[in-house]
Amino acid sequence: MIIVMKPNAKQESIKRIKEIIELKGLYAHISDGDQVTIIGVVGDKGKLMDQNLEIYEDVDKIVPVTESYKLANKKFHPEPTKVKVGNVTIGGDTFVIMSGPCAVESKEQLLTTAHAIKKAGAHILRGGAYKPRTSPYAFQGLEEEGLTYMKEAREETGLPIVCEVTSLDAIEVAVKYVDMLQIGARNMQNFYLLKEAGKTGLPVLLKRGLAATIDEWLNAAEYIVAEGNPNVVLCERGIRTFETATRNTLDISAVPVIKAKSHLPIIIDPSHATGVRDYVKPLARASVAVGADGLMIETHPDPSRAWSDGPQSLTFDEFEDLTYEIDPLITFMGKNL
């Protein structure tokens, strides 16, 4: 449930309600708006059955929350969350572009890419040092060696860095290098990994699972937030359907649905959604138009020679064209690039 306080409620009243909740062994999550404070109750609300909270001073109303995710719920936190990644803010009136190669292949490849995407307008460098692949014989990533190249790229360009982690061991290494952890689609419901990522305190980019519903996705985010880490960014990257024209089917409607259900920012990855280079630009434009908070775009110095996902990767010139094309659309949507 959530307890909506009256406009400009006194701090003493808010503190009293919080104390009542905690005395019952429940957790009180306080969200302060410009005028209204909302207190979310996490736990068995039946423990409050003997408390008529609506009679207390400055309490406006009690609203039940039927969804299983609480802390990620917009009812608990009406104001949109803004997530700080290095010197970049995701959410609110900013539009953020993450870009880089699917896999870190070498220092030269990564540094060349980092400088090119920054020049074209990217804000965050993405790169795969740990690669969960369908085939056990495919390239699995350079691991810590790749992370050292990413750190060097950040030092040269100033771009914050994000990398996927696939295990507790990967988390323990990555936290020494990256500004943001990524949980990939295949690990969206690896609940142990989600909790460990949450415990780091680093921002977490959570991709939607291959066949996950939106509620399942938000419940996965809840695992991270429940560890005391509210810095979660959702990433729609396409879901598995009967259609074979693209690698996955991009669920563009996920953006307005998430905006209605949650306060967490959401970005779109049209590269993994389609698997086809020619479809990335139009879907990037659609992502801006539907209200996404950002994009994740794969780029590579020479996609024909990429060790991973070359067919969906843009060249540097194509990436620059994309950022040029979406710039006026971003402004039209009331955001800043």
Averaged pLDDT for residues 198-212: 97
**Residues 164, 37: one domain?**
no
Nearest to 59 by CA among 70, 71, 48, 68: 48
Tell me if 71 is assigned to some domain.
no
Whether the pTM exceeds 0.85: the reply is yes
pLDDT at 48: 85
- Cα 221-20-198 angle, rounded to 5 deg: 20
Residue 84 sits at φ, ψ, to 5 deg, of -90, 125
Rounded to the nearest 5 percent, the helix, strand and coil shares of the chain are 40, 20, 40
Tell me if 101 is assigned to some domain.
yes
Kindly state the percentage of the chain with pLDDT values over 70: 97
197 vs 199: CA distance, rounded Å: 5
Structural domain including 30 reads 2-63
pLDDT in tens, 39-64: 989 888 788 888 888 899 999 999 88
Out of 95-99, 155-159, 259-263, 305-309, pick the least confident.
305-309
Identify the bridge partners of residue 186 per DSSP, sorted by sequence position.
Answer: none
**Residues 130, 216: one domain?**
yes
**Residues 147, 56: one domain?**
no
Tell me if 205 is assigned to some domain.
yes
pLDDT at 66: 87
- The number of folded domains in the chain is 2
Q: What is the CATH number of the domain that holds 40?
A: 3.30.70.1140
Tell me if 70 is assigned to some domain.
no
Tell me if 337 is assigned to some domain.
no
pLDDT at position 166 over 90: yes
Tell me if 151 is assigned to some domain.
yes
**Residues 216, 318: one domain?**
yes
DSSP string covering 187-220: GTT-HHHHHHHHHH-S-EEEEPPTT--HHHHHHH
Averaged pLDDT for residues 21-31: 89
pLDDT at 50: 80
Out of 52-61, 177-186, 214-223, 230-239, pick the least confident.
52-61
Q: What is the CATH number of the domain that holds 207?
A: 3.20.20.70
**Residues 98, 14: one domain?**
no
pLDDT at 49: 80
Identify the bridge partners of residue 97 per DSSP, sorted by sequence position.
Answer: 295
List the structure tokens of 130. Answer: 């740990």
pLDDT at position 133 over 70: no
**Residues 9, 134: one domain?**
no
* Tokens 């307890």 sit on residue: 3
